[in-house]
Amino acid sequence: MVQIDSSLIASDSKGKSSGVEGIGVNYGFLGNNLPSSTQVINLLKSRNIQNIRIFDPNTDVLKALDGSGISVILGTRNEDLQALASDPTFATNWVLTNVIPHASTVKFTYISAGNEVIPGPLATFVLGAMQNLGSALTAYNLHIPVTTTISLQVLGTSFPPSNGTFSDDAVQFLQPIAQFLATKQYPLLANIYTYFAYAGNPAQIQLDYALLKTTAPVLRDGQFQYNNMFDAMVDSLYVALEKVGQPAMQVVVTETGWPSAGDVYATIDNAQTYANNLISHVSSGQGTPRRSGKVLETYIFALFNENQKPAGTEQNFGLFYPDMTEVYHNNLTP
């Protein structure tokens, strides 16, 4: 049994000023020209970015995070979900390999069992993977919330937000997952993109509404008023959670962003507008209309343009080019 002294976990002796409240960044690895993980962690520190998310337990990145003071959401590979769910020993070994060596030097914010697998063939393994990972962590006296990451494809209805409802093929998985999370008081992680909603329906949606640029209400939904689409999408998920009996569940937005190239709406100007308006909105602490006055923890997608993702917009969500120069000026540094 490895006993971890909580006083050792991710203490930062340098007494740096804090990063922008509530904001983190996704650090993806799908590029053949990306800087080394040590260079990346130094870039994050120089920009005072203190929260990141990685999609799988990359050994080099975890080593580079040791002692950095940067908190991380750690994902499992989707292809490991079945083994994590069916074999507690596999889950224990996953924790021993990927968490224990770094537990005293890296702050793990959450562990995500899978990314966007509900609904789908892997959805049936998510809850079991969460339970087995949670048991393995507890056995080593580690108190790291285990959850999963969804996309808004889980919603059968999302407009207006008061109609937010999980689809029939998603609710069978999400109702028990939400129950498990509620028992532990863990959040649900969600990827929320106004860009894709807008690009799929530009005739019906105002660009400024999707870019968080409007100041006057665009949508009235009962007692709630929305001047940006991001809040409306988050609140539709909160309503869906209420409808499965979880009105107190917190949501963490694990991905959101706007591409700077790849289609007519993906411009550097729009990407910069979205990112900086989002940072300002989240860090203000105003929350969403249905969850007002509470910082909505949000992670921008993504740190770098990644050239091994599908061609087009997917390669152009980065805040930085692989040479670590800015794609556009962002307000991530307070």
Encode pLDDT of 149-189 as tens digits: 999 999 999 999 999 999 999 999 999 999 999 999 999 99
More confident residue, 251 or 17: 251
Q: How confident is the model at residue 18 (pLDDT cuts 50, 70, 90)?
A: low
- The count of other CB atoms within 10 Å of the CB of residue 311 is 9
Which position has the token pair 């894709």? 196
The answer to whether the peptide bond before residue 145 is cis (omega within 30 degrees of 0) is no
Which position has the token pair 């209805």? 157
Integer Cα distance of 189 and 186 in angstroms: 10
Q: Are strands 251-256 and 298-300 parallel, antiparallel or unpaired?
A: parallel
Read off the pLDDT of residues 292-322 as tens digits, 9 standing for 90 and up: 999 999 999 999 999 999 999 999 999 999 9
Tell me whether residue 306 is one of the annotated catalytic residues.
no
pLDDT of residue 19: 74
Range 20-49 average pLDDT: 96
What is the overall mean pLDDT for the chain?
94
pLDDT of residue 230: 98
pLDDT of residue 20: 81
Burial of 157 (0-12, 13-18, 19+ CB in 10 A): middle
Tell me whether residue 116 is one of the annotated catalytic residues.
yes
Question: What pTM value is reported for the model?
Answer: 0.94
Contacts of 176 (CB under 8 A, 6+ apart): 127
Q: Are strands 188-191 and 251-256 parallel, antiparallel or unpaired?
A: parallel
Q: Which of 21, 79, 242, 255 is catalytic?
A: 255
Range 70-92 average pLDDT: 98
Percent of the chain with pLDDT over 70: 94
pLDDT of residue 25: 98
Contacts of 172 (CB under 8 A, 6+ apart): none
Q: Which segments of 99-163 does DSSP mark as H helices, in order?
A: 126-139
